[in-house]
A = this chain, B = another copy of it.
């Protein structure tokens, strides 16, 4: 569920950050649901607790989760999370689209790319 990929060059804590966002957007993690404890998750996926904590802390400062010292970490308002996820995705998409247009690809071609994506 929280699997990360150590082969890839994306920092582990960043993969974890994105994974939480994804799980919320897909409705697998619900509002106020408790996340695994830092040490538990670290053990589960075989990484250091400090790395999990770094991910959790970034999630917290972005308003995606909230942590209660001594109690645990919980998913914040789903609306906020979905909003953040969409903004991040739209920004990345817009940048890539500008780059593509900038390199001479036509808008038509980009429209086609989108239509050709089949989601599993």
Contacts and interface: CB of A to CB of B under 8 A. Distances in A.
A114 B115 CA distance: 13
B104 A100 contact: no
A3 interface: no
Contacts of A101: 117, 119
Nearest to A68: B6
Which of A61, A71, A99 gathers the greatest number of chain B CB atoms within 10 Å? A99
Contact of A6 (B71, B111, B114): B71
B96 A92 contact: yes
Interface in A92-120: 92-105, 107, 109-111, 113-115, 117, 119
A85 interface: yes
Nearest to A107: B114
B86 A105 contact: yes
Interface string A48-62: 000000000000010
B114 A110 contact: yes
A97 to B, nearest CB: 5
A36 to B, nearest CB: 20
